[in-house]
Amino acid sequence: MDKETRWKQRFMNFDKAFHTLERTVAIENPSEAERGGLIQFFEVAFELSWKTLKDYLEAGGFQVKSPRDVLKQAFQSGIIQDGHAWMEALDDRNLTAHTYNEETAAKIDRLIREKYFPAIAALYETLKKEM
C-alpha cells in the first residue's frame, strides 16, 4: 500500500474516533461513567490523530518515529498550530492511560474540553481538506 493511501485509510478511523469524542464533549455535567468515557475517547482520538499525522508526514517524505517527533514536525510544517497544547495532550494521554483518580479525571476533563479537543478538531478540519 502506498503512503498516500495509508494516511487516508487511517484518517477514516480518526474520523470515527473524532466524531465519538465530539459527541461526548457535548455532554454537559457528565456522570462519572460519562467522564470516564470522555477520557477514553480522548485517548483513542489522540492516538489516531498522531498516527494519522505520522502517515501524512511520511507520505510527504518526512521520517518521523515517536509521537513527539511527529508533533514537532507537524508544528514545524504548519499542520498543527498549538504545539504546546499537543505536547501537553501527549503527556496527559500517557498519564490517563496508566492512572485513575477522580481529581485527575476532573482536571483532564476540563483540559480536553478547553484545550485538547479544539486542537484535535483543528487538525481534523485541516486533514479533511486534504482528503
pLDDT of residue 54: 97
How many whole angstroms separate alpha carbon 85 and alpha carbon 102? Answer: 22
| Cβ–Cβ < 8 Å for 108, 91 | no
- The reported pLDDT for the residue numbered 13 is 97
**Residue 88, all three cell numbers:** 501537553
Report the alpha-carbon distance of residue 1 to residue 73 in Å, rounded: 23
Sign of CA dihedral 90, 87, 77, 38: positive
pLDDT tens digits for range 48-75: 999 999 999 999 999 999 999 999 999 9
Q: What does each of the 131 residues of the chain score in pLDDT, given as a tens digit?
A: 788 899 999 999 999 999 999 999 999 999 989 999 999 999 999 999 999 999 999 999 999 999 999 999 999 999 999 999 999 999 998 887 766 788 888 899 999 999 999 999 999 999 999 98
Instruction: Concatenate the DSSP letters of all residues of 77-97 into one string.
Output: TTS-S-HHHHHHHHHHHHHHH
Per-residue pLDDT at 41: 96
Per-residue confidence (pLDDT) for residue 3, from 0 to 100: 80
> Which domains does the chain show, CATH number per domain?
3-130 (1.20.120.330)
